[in-house]
Structures are given as structure tokens and as C-alpha cells.
Amino acid sequence: MQHFDCDYMEGAHPKILEALVRTNLEKSVGYGADEYCASARAKILAACGLTSDEGEVHFLVGGTQTNATVIAGLLRPYEGVIAATTGHVALHEAGAIEASGHKVLTIPAVEGKLSAAAIDEYIKAFRADEAWDHMVWPGMVYISQPTEYGTLYTLAELEALSAVCRKWEIPLFVDGARLGYALASPATDVTLRDLARLCDVFYIGGTKCGAMFGEAVVMHKGLIPHFFTIIKQQGALLAKGRMLGLQFDTLFTDDLYINIAREAVVQAARLREAFRAKGYEIYAESPTNQLFVALTAEQEAHLRTLVTFSEWERTADGRLVVRLATSWVTRTEDVDEVIEAL
Amino acid sequence: MQHFDCDYMEGAHPKILEALVRTNLEKSVGYGADEYCASARAKILAACGLTSDEGEVHFLVGGTQTNATVIAGLLRPYEGVIAATTGHVALHEAGAIEASGHKVLTIPAVEGKLSAAAIDEYIKAFRADEAWDHMVWPGMVYISQPTEYGTLYTLAELEALSAVCRKWEIPLFVDGARLGYALASPATDVTLRDLARLCDVFYIGGTKCGAMFGEAVVMHKGLIPHFFTIIKQQGALLAKGRMLGLQFDTLFTDDLYINIAREAVVQAARLREAFRAKGYEIYAESPTNQLFVALTAEQEAHLRTLVTFSEWERTADGRLVVRLATSWVTRTEDVDEVIEAL
Amino acid sequence: MQHFDCDYMEGAHPKILEALVRTNLEKSVGYGADEYCASARAKILAACGLTSDEGEVHFLVGGTQTNATVIAGLLRPYEGVIAATTGHVALHEAGAIEASGHKVLTIPAVEGKLSAAAIDEYIKAFRADEAWDHMVWPGMVYISQPTEYGTLYTLAELEALSAVCRKWEIPLFVDGARLGYALASPATDVTLRDLARLCDVFYIGGTKCGAMFGEAVVMHKGLIPHFFTIIKQQGALLAKGRMLGLQFDTLFTDDLYINIAREAVVQAARLREAFRAKGYEIYAESPTNQLFVALTAEQEAHLRTLVTFSEWERTADGRLVVRLATSWVTRTEDVDEVIEAL
Amino acid sequence: MQHFDCDYMEGAHPKILEALVRTNLEKSVGYGADEYCASARAKILAACGLTSDEGEVHFLVGGTQTNATVIAGLLRPYEGVIAATTGHVALHEAGAIEASGHKVLTIPAVEGKLSAAAIDEYIKAFRADEAWDHMVWPGMVYISQPTEYGTLYTLAELEALSAVCRKWEIPLFVDGARLGYALASPATDVTLRDLARLCDVFYIGGTKCGAMFGEAVVMHKGLIPHFFTIIKQQGALLAKGRMLGLQFDTLFTDDLYINIAREAVVQAARLREAFRAKGYEIYAESPTNQLFVALTAEQEAHLRTLVTFSEWERTADGRLVVRLATSWVTRTEDVDEVIEAL
């Protein structure tokens, strides 16, 4: 039985563990003011093509926490965040955004993606509405790269989204919980530098991409005043902050972050092709580390004997859609075994 | 030019004004502990068929405020409120529900109405979802009677809604901002007693039905502990509480509330028939004091010379839908004038 | 038995009632966009010495609501509001400020008043604290004029407070729920123009100074973007907004606001002198419409036979401090009766 | 130069690291549903003398987060939490409690401790106050063991606190961020079983007591319904939950938790005695791993050449109070070096 439930079933990449072990008894100041965090920040800014005058980097622990903290920091009380109806903040964060007082303004998405045109139309209609000032002002846009369906925004799409946000003077925030698998996908034409140029704030996911935990928020310098205090207020400030610095410092040394993600994407592609070849319906064209398969009852019964997975949703005709996720740990032989058994 | 922008363009019913004038220099204690509030509470409970052991009545100032206060009082942090996508709390309260930390869980509605079946399905799917505990728990149901489209739940529909809420053990809350026009509609088979029996909490709208301002919340005794303090916290506690008591005491004397609403419903029906007769498309079958008309460009141009109205939304093919609202003040001759000019 | 429980026991000043009656059947648009609101805004701005380019005026219904709305509009998530430990927002608003996510940072007050020096010291110590970014940033200052103890800030004190706020670049907000009684006190040297010049935002209380309800917020133009929507979100937007405009328009015609307050202050002074002459201990030197008396058990028993009042607090040695409030309705003969009986 | 800034300067106890390394490539389900979490829960319940029918254990990442999550879960909107003015939730959590809508009701403390009598008096006065329902209802009590000043509640004090909470029917919550150092102090007579018996909910701090991060909340079964979802909503749910389980499983094997804390307490006592012997003023009698010293300017200058520490506060006469914290890593020779140099 192979396990593809999710991409956070194992611990940390061995190089990260090694760094944690090597430095374990060193003493450092808390809350991210240590030298490992400083080093990680410098490497991340460099990878993003930003100087320390242009960008800033903050380390948080988990994804929902990061979304809630960034959004609470960006929005004013009368504002909400535009997101896809299938967006993580709209569905699977237990109301964390609303708990900080803000509405998630949902727009239907196609394969998890929001289009610039749909956002433009939404805001245009909002501002034209006689009753706009009785409604929640669209104050920012949230997208995920890759999306919750493993799909990718192209550079052209991202440029269009960025343009529409700048036109309406609202920030664009990219949830990169699985960003490594996007950057490493052969299907992408988007780089970290593109993200840094086109978004106002985004984060580089560690938890699902090789770290034990941790998300690195990259934002335009000064975008959210007092963000440190907001992180603290949201319970998102790790006391032993260097654990985050160490992990990201390791991931951003010798391209480890991309390299380990690439392998996961390769294995997911192999699985995807095998499913397709066996007549399974691939549900979303996701060129990253997740694959979605719509199963007949028979296929479902068979698949349950081979692998573990996540139940995702139901198709209109009632079939179960499941998600399989590979990770930096997934081995060729594990995938071989599944392919064979299919 | 006649004005049908909304049903709160005038002051208070003359009998209410008279009561305010008559008692103006009397002294009473604040915050609703006075005898006029006591009298109004007693009359409302009686009209609802509730004893003072069964029900309690609280007076607030406005509708959005009442919705936010009741919902904040009912929900626990992990819970949200189910509402129609067209529900007032979902759209036109500037995020007041989210401001108190709760998500509005929207379900598509037909002519403004939620069906018991849709709610049942929603909750069933929620509880069956593998990830339910990462999502917002449906903690109550919010509906409006009449709805935002002036439509009415029938007694059978209300009974079904009540049954589904009781099955899932969540309270049913009815926004009655325009309740008078529902109770007074010839199309309804729902009485105040039915509401008191089938809902856990509802309110009797004053602002739009003859009062200068004010909403009377009727709830099952003890449903929301410390509701007084929650009202205060929400800024919804009127210092000179007797102004609310006096108004509702007057409205619930000699059936004034229903009687004045009836006249508005009659005038709206006359207008509706006239529009229909002239080939205008009636947009929702609303047997209350609001009528919705989808206009061609030509019709729109003509209508703008005759009356003022609210712009409501656009039809799929781009036509403007407008709303005309009558009120207890609307006179037969005013309506005649419009009908003639149509 | 005379009643001095509070200054909101009666209805509205007769001229206000008259205006409400006179205009009752007129139709106007909702939410404060009508001509009565426009007129009231213009008169208030003029009284404050502000042009419509310099200031803006918003009408809300009650005091707690106004405090919560202004503070929620001004503060960012990491900020709190400095207030006296005895301040209304700190004690008697059921946690309305915290409900919008903000801490009330209390500083001990003397007779209800905060000193500029105490605020300066507080902020200096805060900024010098090694752990300042783990704490709530002082984001604004809240004071009341008159204070909760009926005392008054002098012009010099207000100038010092304003200077300290500007030095630290935080807004100064004055709760004027009883502002009329301050402006009308013979002891004051502070005018509306001074308030407009020295504060960033303040409000002119109607509820306790002649109106049936209503508070007029005066703020520097553009101080709180989208304040209308924030008012709506807080449930503080009156549908029939003209009721607020009419009341303030009346109060700001022919100095009615000050004139009716003056009479209340005179009567309170007469009572105060009478108490003092009879050997009662006056608890705070309040030259406005409230008086505070610390009672022995014997005095308490006697007083209870003569008047109704509010229980305020206990002195260190356990005696009851009571508050008597006069209002624009208090008659000379009522006060005479009490003085005689004392 | 020795470092005593705080007790979270190093990584994790070597046995924890070893467990993380050993299990690194194992696959487990997320969010704490794995077997390591199950094992840790069982060991913690056993150590607390609770059956799985009596208690439940939840793992969170950090202290502020845990306080905010538990308090948000326990309180209703109209309620606040009683805490010492020096309590962590009152001062150093950047307004995290207020951010979830609740007021911290502060009571002056002696050496960081609240007395049962003070709480009883506070609640009695609150309930006797004429205006109680305009104020925030005291809904729970928060204390820290050890306190923010390293002091300890005795068993008798804790029993009294528990009794007063039960008398008023509000839960007692103990912040145990440094609980190990309390349990291991020779000065204590309080055991884990006592805490489990006397509190409704408390947590066992990992971050400051040997773990890399992590806090274990122990609560009476069912105390907070849907607590898992509330944890998620607060951004406090670790995806790779087993990292928390592994750490606590290790700490609760062979009494590791207490044993490593004991050594820190011993070293702190040695330092404390040395300071006292050299004429330094010990500021609070803290028999745990923290010591507080009030320094003259001369002493401060000298000490800065020897060790790093935290600046805590100023005495009334302006001297700096500093805090030194030992931890499970502090070595005898490090302390020797400081003692000698003093």
C-alpha cells in the first residue's frame, strides 16, 4: 500500500534535519532576529531579485496562519478579499479570515483559477452598483500558485492579474503553500522574480515542500506596517525563530527548494500518465505534484486496495474525485509499484 | 413625480408621533426598562401566542444591527450562518456578520427563498465531507420574510425549514424587517403565531412598517444568555429605550401594524397589475409591498420621467431591474397618477 | 419624589418634536443623503469654524455605537486606544471596543481626566520598552468632555493633549456625549472651534442634550476613508437618516444646543451648592450637569426619600457615591423642592 | 559572555531530535491524528491522572497562540477573562485576546500572583454593580504557573482559586508555558494531578522546557466543543502534527520533562544565591528557572560585561530590573563562570 494522501506526511528534508542537529545547542535570540533568519532572508530576496530596500521577508509556521495574518494586515475594516470559490481561504480554513473580521468575496473559478477579466468585471460591477457603500469593498485579491487543483497561472495570466489589481489599486497576494511544485513544473513560465515583480506579497511554502514546517512571506518593503506585531497578535510568531531561518536557509542553498520539488512533479506526471493510459478520467490538468482523478465505483474499489488518497469532491454525476499528492520523498519504485498494479 | 425609492422615506405613523408628543416630558428609566416597553412586550408576546415564560422581546434600532446582534449572540466561534446568496446579511450589510467573526454560508436561492431541501443537502454534504472539521460549521439558518425580492415563504415551506433546522439542531432566525407586509399580504398563510412556533428567533420590523425606527426581536426565552449585554456591546442599545416601546406599543394596539401594512400591499398590487397590463416584465412574483420590473431601455427612459425607484440588478441580457416600494403612506391618488401615465 | 437618575429620561426638546411632526409626511432619501442632514452638517461645520473642505460630519444614533465606530475606523489591527481607567470605553460599553478587535490601554486619571504628561510618559515608556513590538501600539487617545465625572478639560489642558498627540502622530478623539453641558458651563474656556482645531475627531452628543437620540461626529476631512461603510457595518446607519439631520438642524439653529444645556448646568450648580451647604461631601468638582455626592449611611437613607439617582461607586471607606444628573428639562421648582427637603 | 536572555535560545533536547531523525521518513496522516500524537496524549493523560473519558489533550505550536485559542474557545461574546495586570495575556501578546473580541479584565497581582480573595471580591463587586449588564462579564480566570515573575502558586492557593472559580461557575485556565520549571521546583507542592483536578484547562509548555516548539493543552473532556476547528481557525493547527506528538511523547517518557527542568531550576538557584551574596537585590522570590535582579547603575554596567539578559521593568526609584533565565541546556560550568566573575 502506497500513501499519497497529502504532501506533508513525512518530516523534513535530510539536509534540513542535519542543519537542525548541527546547530542544536547554539544559542540565539528569539523571534527571528538571529543570523540564520538573516541569512535565509538575504538568500530569498536574492532569489526574488529584490534588494533589501525593495523587499522584506517574514517567517511564519503554517499556511492558514499565513493567509490570515497577511490578509488581516492588508485589509481595512470595510474591505474584503476576492478569492476563487474553490480558494483555500474560502473553504478550508475554518473561517480564519472571517474571524479577523473580513469577508471572502468569492468569484467562480475555472480549474481553480481566477481570470483577470472576471476580477475586472466584478470590481467594475461593484463600483457601478448604486448600493456599493452598503457592501464590502473589494480590498485585495488572493490566488494560489499552484491552485488548490494543482493548476498553474501562466506568466501572461499573472501579468494580467497584476495589471487589473494595479488598475484598481488593490494588492495582489499569492498563496504559495506549494510554490516549489509550481516553480519546478516543466509547464510553468513563471519564476520567483516574476512573482516578486507582479505581486505585492506572496509566500514560499515550506511545510509542503521539504521543510518540517514554515512559510516565508515576501512582500514589498513597508507594505504592512508593524507586521511583526501583527504576526505576534495572530499567534504566528515562533519563539525559536531560528528553526524557520535554518530551514529556509537550507532550502535556498544550491537550489534545494526547486530540485526536490522537481522530483515530486516528475513522479506525479508518471502517475498521471499511467492513470490516463488505464482509462481513468483525469479531473484537472494539473502539471504539478497533485493529480485529481474522477473514479467510477469500480475504479474506486480497485484503487482503495492500492493506495491511500484524499477524497476531494463529487462530480455532477456523483462519482468520487480523489486527489493523490506526491512529495519530495516519493520514490520512483513506489510509483512503479502503483503503475504496475493499476 | 412620485417616489417609490424605498419604504422608509417618511417619518412615523401619525399615531406614533402622537404618542411621542403626548409622553415627551414624562420621565422614565433608560435602556428599555420602562413601562412602555413592558406594555409593548406584553402585547407582542400576546400577538405571538407566547407567555412571558415562553418568549422574550428585545427592542433594537435598525435591521442590519439586529441581524448582526442576534447572529453574534447565537453563534459559537467555529460556526457560520446559512443564508441565501441574495440574503441581506450576505450582500448588503457591509460585512457586519463577518465583522463579528462569522462566515455567511451562502446557498443559491430561488426568487430570494431557500428551500428546506437545499439546506438539508448542504448540511448532509458538509457532515459527510472528509474535511468538515477544517470548514465552518453551519450553526444556524437565516431567512427573510418577506424576502429581499418581496416573495413569501408559505406555511408549508416554513414548517419544512423549521423541521430541517430541528433535525440538525440549529436555530432558525427570520429577518422580518418588512414583516408587516408579509403578514398583511392576501397571499400569505403564515401568522405571527406560526413564526413564534416555527422559528427560534425572529424580528418584527418597525422602521419599514410605520415606525420612525425600531425592530422588535422575539425569541424563545433564554435562547441567548446575556442578550442585553450583547445588544449594548453591539452599540444597539438605545438610551431612551422607551421611544422603542412607545412605537411598538402603538403599532400593536388595535392591529395598527397589520392594518397600515395592508394598504401598502394593496397599492403595490395595483401598480404591479398596471405594469403587467402595459407589457412590462414583472421580475419576481412578490405579493407584498415591493415590485420588481425588468425594463427595456425604452421603458426605463419612460419610467424615469414618472417615478423614482431603486436600481436593483441586471438581467442576464443586460436589462435593468428596478424596485418600487410602497409604504403605509402611499396614497391611492399617487398610484393612480402613475398608472395613468404608464 | 424628583428624578435625577440620568440625563436621558425624557423625550426630545419641543422644537425638535415640532420639526419631526411638521416634516413627518415628507419623502426623503435614506441614510443621511437628504437635505435636512445637509443643512445640519453645514450649520455644525460653521459652528466649528470649518469649511466643507476641512471637515466632515456624520450622524449616528448612540454614544457607545459612535465610540466603537470611530475607534474601529481609526485603528489598525496592531493598535489600541489610550483611555482613562474611568473612561466610558474602558468600563461601561460592554467590551464594544474589544469586540472590534482592539485593546483599551488604560491610564489612571484624576477626577476622570487624563493629563498630557501622563500620556507622553506612557508612550515614551512604551517605545523605550525592549518588548514594544510584542505589545499593543498606542494608536490614538480617547478622552471625554465633560468626563464621566462631569469634570472639564481646560483649553490649556486640551492644547497640551493635542500637542502630545501630534508629537507622537496619533489622533485625538473626544467623546462629547454630554458636550453641550461642557460648552455651556461657566467654568469652561473651550469652544467648539477649539475642539475642531485641537482634535482629529469628536462628537456632539444629542441623546443627552435635547435630542431624542443622535450623535454628530465631526472629523477632519478624509480622516477615516469609507467611514459611511464602516458606519453601516457597525449597524449604526439609521435608515431614516433625516431624523438625525432634523434634530441637529434644530439644535444648531439659534444656539438652541447651548441654551438648553446652560439651564441644566445652572440647576446642577444650585443643587451642588445646596448639598455642600448641608454638609454633604461633593465627590468631584464637576461644573456641568452632573454632581457626585459621597453619602454616609444616614445621608443615603434620607436622600432616597427625596430623589432618585444613580449609584456610582464606593469610596475607599465604603460609602456610596451617587450621581445626580440634571437635564434641559429640569425645572427650577423641582430643584427648589429638593433643596428645601434636604 | 554567558547568555541568559531567555529559555528558548537553543533547539530541542537531544532525545527529541533523535526521535525526529529516527522517524523522519515515516509517513503519517496530518493534523495530529497519527500514532505519535495518540501515544503522547495517553502518556500525558496518565501523568495527569485522567482517563480518556475525563480529559482530552490537544497540541498547539506556541504560547500566545494557545492562550488566544483556549480563551476564544471558552468565552461567549459578552465575557472577558480575568488576569493579573502583569499576566502575559494582558501585556505581551500584542492584543491577541482582544483580536478575538474579548476584554482582559485585569486585577493587580502580588509578585505576579492573583489571590482567590481578590478574584472573589472583583466578581462580587461586579455582580453588585447597578450597571453590571453594561460591562464585560467575568467569564473565566487566567493565571500562569509559574507566573511571569517566576513565582509559584502553592497547592493551597490553587485550591482556593479553584474553589472561587467553581463558586462563580467560571472556568480556571492555567498558562503553563514554563510548567516544567514549576513542577520541578523544590519549592512547589503542586503536581500535574493537582492541576488536572483543580483547573478546567491548562497547558504543558514545550517550547521553553525542552521541545523545539509545542504546547500540550489538557482539558476536561468536552469543555470546548469543536476545539479542533477552533485551533484550525486560529491558524494553530500544525500540518505535520506528529512533530508535536513525537516531542511530547519523548518528554513524557521516563520523566524527561521534569528531569531536564530540575537541572535548570538548580542552576537558577545557584545564580540567585550568588547575586544575593554579592549584595544584589533579588526582585521577586522566584523558585523556578527565572531570576529577577534590580540593579544599580554600577551593577548594571558590571553585569553587562558578563552576561546577556532581558530588561524587565523599572523600579519606582528608576533602577533597571533584569531577568536571567536558565534552561535545560544551562551547564554548571557556565554558571560557575558567572558566579566567579560577579
Which residue in chain A is spatially nearest to B80 when comparing CA positions? A95
Percent of chain A with pLDDT over 70: 100
Task: Tell me, yes or no, if A10 comes closer than 8 A to chain D by beta carbon.
Answer: yes
Task: Tell me, yes or no, if A225 comes closer than 8 A to chain C by beta carbon.
Answer: yes
Cβ of D130 and C104 within 8 Å? no
Does residue D287 have a pLDDT over 90?
Answer: yes
SS (H, E, C) D216-277: EEEEECCCCCCHHHHHHHCCCCCCCCHHHHHHHHHHCCCCHHHHHHHHHHHHHHHHHHHHHH
Task: Tell me, yes or no, if B233 comes closer than 8 A to chain D by beta carbon.
Answer: yes
Which residues, 6+ apart, have CB-to-CB distance to D156 below 8 Å?
A: none
Which residue in chain C is spatially nearest to D322 when comparing CA positions? C130
Task: Tell me, yes or no, if A239 comes closer than 8 A to chain D by beta carbon.
Answer: yes
Cβ of D64 and A235 within 8 Å? yes
Chains touching B (at least 3 CB pairs under 8 A) are A, C, D
Report pLDDT digits (tens) over A282-293.
Answer: 998 899 999 999
Which residues, 6+ apart, have CB-to-CB distance to A341 below 8 Å?
A: A306
Which residue in chain B is spatially nearest to A99 when comparing CA positions? B101
- What pLDDT was estimated at residue A311? 94
- What pLDDT was estimated at residue A127? 96
- What pLDDT was estimated at residue D228? 98
Q: What mean pLDDT is reported for chain A? A: 97
| D226 contacts in chain B (CB < 8 Å) | 76, 78, 133, 137
DSSP assignment of D131-192 equals TGGGS-EEEEEEEESS-TTS----HHHHHHHHHHHHHTT--EEEE-TTHHHHHT-TT----H
Cα separation, D173 vs D190, whole angstroms: 15
- What pLDDT was estimated at residue B285? 85
| D78 contacts in chain B (CB < 8 Å) | 225-226, 229-230, 233
Does residue D252 have a pLDDT over 90?
Answer: yes
Pick the residue of C31, C98, C129, C133 with the most A CBs within 10 A to test the interface with A by mutation.
Answer: C133
Cα separation, A101 vs D100, whole angstroms: 9
Which residues, 6+ apart, have CB-to-CB distance to A236 below 8 Å?
A: A60, A61, A65, A66, A69, D65, D235
Which of C24, C69, C329 lies nearest to residue B11, judging by beta carbons?
Answer: C24
pLDDT band at residue B100, thresholds of 50, 70 and 90? very high
Task: Tell me, yes or no, if D104 comes closer than 8 A to chain C by beta carbon.
Answer: yes
Q: How far is C130 from chain B (nearest CA, A)?
A: 32
Among B45-59, C67-81, C302-316, D86-100, the range scoring the smallest mean pLDDT is: C302-316
Report pLDDT digits (tens) over A7-20.
Answer: 999 999 999 999 99
Cβ of C233 and B93 within 8 Å? yes
Residue A230 or residue D342, greater confidence? A230
pLDDT band at residue B45, thresholds of 50, 70 and 90? very high
Which of B78, B130, B135 lies nearest to residue A310, judging by beta carbons?
Answer: B130
Report pLDDT digits (tens) over D108-133.
Answer: 999 999 999 999 999 999 999 999 99
Task: Tell me, yes or no, if D228 comes closer than 8 A to chain B by beta carbon.
Answer: yes
Task: Tell me, yes or no, if C101 comes closer than 8 A to chain B by beta carbon.
Answer: no
Does residue B342 have a pLDDT over 90?
Answer: no
Q: How far is A122 from chain B (nearest CA, A)?
A: 13
Report pLDDT digits (tens) over C216-274.
Answer: 999 999 999 999 999 999 999 999 999 999 999 999 999 999 999 999 999 999 999 99
Percent of chain B with pLDDT over 90: 97
Does residue A216 have a pLDDT over 90?
Answer: yes
Does residue D259 have a pLDDT over 90?
Answer: yes
Per the CB < 8 A criterion, the answer to whether A98 and B98 are in contact is: yes
Report pLDDT digits (tens) over C184-232.
Answer: 999 999 999 999 999 999 999 999 999 999 999 999 999 999 999 999 9
- What pLDDT was estimated at residue A315? 92
Cα separation, C285 vs D205, whole angstroms: 51
Which residues, 6+ apart, have CB-to-CB distance to B76 below 8 Å?
A: B139, D225, D226
- What pLDDT was estimated at residue C284? 86
Which residues, 6+ apart, have CB-to-CB distance to C24 below 8 Å?
A: B10, B11, B12, B14, B17
Which of A77, A134, A232 lies nearest to residue C72, judging by beta carbons?
Answer: A77
Report pLDDT digits (tens) over A174-205.
Answer: 999 999 999 999 999 999 999 999 999 999 99
- Mapping DSSP to helix (H, G, I), strand (E, B) and coil, where does residue A161 land? helix
Report pLDDT digits (tens) over D178-211.
Answer: 999 999 999 999 999 999 999 999 999 999 999 9
Q: What mean pLDDT is reported for chain B? A: 97
Cβ of C133 and A229 within 8 Å? yes
Per the CB < 8 A criterion, the answer to whether D14 and A24 are in contact is: yes
Return the closest-CA partner of residue D281 out of D305, D303, D306. Answer: D303
Pick the residue of D20, D233, D334 with the most A CBs within 10 A to test the interface with A by mutation.
Answer: D233
Q: What is the mean pLDDT of residues B97-119?
A: 97
Interface B-C: count of C-beta contacts within 8 A: 147
Which residue in chain D is spatially nearest to A309 when comparing CA positions? D29
Cα separation, C16 vs C249, whole angstroms: 9
Task: Tell me, yes or no, if A136 comes closer than 8 A to chain B by beta carbon.
Answer: yes
Return the closest-CA partner of residue C161 out of C104, C119, C123. Answer: C119
Residues 306-335, chain A, touching D (beta carbon < 8 A):
329
- What pLDDT was estimated at residue B148? 96
Burial class (CB in 10 A: 0-12, 13-18, 19+), B196: buried
Pick the residue of A8, A93, A98, A137 with the most B CBs within 10 A to test the interface with B by mutation.
Answer: A98
- Per-residue cell: C312: 456610582
| B5 contacts in chain C (CB < 8 Å) | 29-30
Whether the bond between D146 and the residue before it is cis, its omega within 30 degrees of 0, is: yes
Amino acid residing at D174 = V
Q: What is the mean pLDDT of residues B139-160?
A: 98
Cβ of C136 and D95 within 8 Å? yes
Task: Tell me, yes or no, if C99 comes closer than 8 A to chain D by beta carbon.
Answer: yes
Q: What is the mean pLDDT of residues B54-77?
A: 98
The backbone torsions φ and ψ at residue A234, rounded to the nearest 5 degrees and listed phi first, read: -80, 5
Enumerate the β-bridge partners of residue C324: C291
Cβ of A229 and C137 within 8 Å? yes
Amino acid residing at A110 = V
Report pLDDT digits (tens) over A309-341.
Answer: 999 999 989 899 999 999 999 999 999 999 999
Cβ of A91 and B311 within 8 Å? no
Does residue C285 have a pLDDT over 90?
Answer: no
Q: What is the mean pLDDT of residues A138-165?
A: 98
Cβ of B228 and D73 within 8 Å? no
Task: Tell me, yes or no, if C231 comes closer than 8 A to chain A by beta carbon.
Answer: no
| C234 contacts in chain B (CB < 8 Å) | 96, 99, 235
Q: What is the mean pLDDT of residues A154-166?
A: 98
Q: How far is D308 from chain A (nearest CA, A)?
A: 10
Cβ of B237 and C61 within 8 Å? no
| A135 contacts in chain C (CB < 8 Å) | 229
Task: Tell me, yes or no, if B24 comes closer than 8 A to chain C by beta carbon.
Answer: yes
- What pLDDT was estimated at residue C61? 98
Residues 172-211, chain B, touching D (beta carbon < 8 A):
none
- What pLDDT was estimated at residue D342? 87
Cβ of C78 and A229 within 8 Å? yes
Strand B137-144 relative to strand B172-175, pairing: parallel
Report pLDDT digits (tens) over C134-190.
Answer: 999 999 999 999 999 999 999 999 999 999 999 999 999 999 999 999 999 999 999
- What pLDDT was estimated at residue B1? 86
Interface ipTM: 0.97
Return the closest-CA partner of residue D327 out of D3, D7, D12. Answer: D7
Report pLDDT digits (tens) over D23-82.
Answer: 999 999 999 999 999 999 999 999 999 999 999 999 999 999 999 999 999 999 999 999
Report pLDDT digits (tens) over B201-250.
Answer: 999 999 999 999 999 999 999 999 999 999 999 999 999 999 999 999 99
Cβ of A99 and D234 within 8 Å? yes
pLDDT band at residue A95, thresholds of 50, 70 and 90? very high
Enumerate the β-bridge partners of residue B144: B175
Look at chain B and count its residues.
342
Cα separation, B139 vs B169, whole angstroms: 9
Return the closest-CA partner of residue A272 out of A116, A150, A174, A99. Answer: A150
Which of B72, B135, B228 lies nearest to residue D77, judging by beta carbons?
Answer: B72
Task: Tell me, yes or no, if B100 comes closer than 8 A to chain C by beta carbon.
Answer: yes
B172 HSE (CA, 13 A, CB side): 25
List strand residue ranges (DSSP E) for chain B, in order.
2-3, 55-60, 79-84, 104-107, 137-144, 172-175, 201-205, 215-220, 281-282, 290-295, 307-308, 310-314, 320-325
Return the closest-CA partner of residue D62 out of A95, A62, A10, A37. Answer: A62
| B133 contacts in chain D (CB < 8 Å) | 226, 228-229, 232
Global pTM value? 0.97
Cβ of D101 and C98 within 8 Å? yes
DSSP state of B110: B
Q: How far is B113 from chain C (nearest CA, A)?
A: 24
Enumerate the β-bridge partners of residue A79: A137
Q: What is the mean pLDDT of residues C41-57?
A: 98
Cβ of A5 and D29 within 8 Å? yes
Does residue C56 have a pLDDT over 90?
Answer: yes
Chains touching C (at least 3 CB pairs under 8 A) are A, B, D
Task: Tell me, yes or no, if B71 comes closer than 8 A to chain C by beta carbon.
Answer: no
